[in-house]
Amino acid sequence: MSQPSPTPATPEERYAALGDELLGELDPGPPSKGFGANALKVDGRIFAMLVRDRLVVKLPRRRVDELIAAGDGDRFDPGHGRPMKEWLAIGPSAEDRWLALATEALAFVGGKR
């Protein structure tokens, strides 16, 4: 009988495991440099990334507002002082929510045409 895989210990390990689980057979596209270089992408568009040990996901603005109101994260600020309306940042303490929110982000970004 095989042992279950241990839960990854660091945010980087958790993020890597999340990417493996979500992207599976999807083609992540060519690697990029600069902003979003380590991001998870679908059809060349970023849906999730790890920034300062926080998972950042792209969701509809209304959904981001709901999640912030519920205390499930903060609007993502890439460092220029203007938080982004469709991006939610979730800390490592809420790692149990990472998969569900990243799956939701994948569906949102992957469904855009």
Choices 3.30.1460, 3.40.50, 3.30.43, 3.30.310: CATH for 11-29+37-111: 3.30.1460
Residues 6 or more apart in contact with residue 18 via CB below 8 angstroms: 40, 48, 55, 98, 99, 102
* Helix (H), strand (E), coil (C) string for 87-105: EEEECHHHHHHHHHHHHHH
d(CA 98, CA 7): 13
Alpha helix (H) residue ranges in the chain: 11-23, 61-69, 98-111
**Domain locations in the chain?**
11-29+37-111
19-32, pLDDT tens digit by residue?
888 877 555 555 55
31-90, pLDDT tens digit by residue?
554 455 578 988 888 999 999 999 999 999 999 999 999 999 999 998 888 889 999 999
Q: What is the reported pTM?
A: 0.82
